[in-house]
Structure 1
Amino acid sequence: MNSNEIVGDEARLILLKSYGELLKFKTRDPIIANVHSKAIDQLSKLFDARRDRILSTNAHVPPVI
């Protein structure tokens, strides 16, 4: 991806849908709750990594005149 390309929305929508589904899930089992928490943490890391990749395409050194 170069800095002039438009970033697609499909990946963001998939992540948002997944996050919404995880937030709907409720349990009283502490083991399942721990797994649920880890899944939310991993999804958060995916959001962060995607944001970092998008931002890195825009970060460049300006040409020297």
Structure 2
Amino acid sequence: MTELQRLLTFMRSSKRKQITLREYEQLVHQDGWTNGDKAKLINQIQKSGVLRYDRTKNEYVIRLIQ
């Protein structure tokens, strides 16, 4: 299961339409999640067409489009 699929499953199962990247990291990943992993997830979100992300002043907000 890719990280994008895990994120979609998490958002749909918890009935959330948006989540911050930091909050997702705290809820799902305990240790070993590098900045490279975060960058890969953000790139996958850009290409997905199902999710989008917005950069706020302090963090990324991931929103479910569909």
Give me the TM-score of the superposition, normalised by structure 1.
0.28
User: Per residue, is there more strand in 1 or in 2?
Assistant: 2
Q: Which has the higher contact order (CA 8 A, sep 6+)?
A: 1
Give me the TM-score of the superposition, normalised by structure 2.
0.27
User: Per residue, is there more helix in 1 or in 2?
Assistant: 1
User: Based on CA coordinates, which of the two structures has the bigger radius of gyration?
Assistant: 1
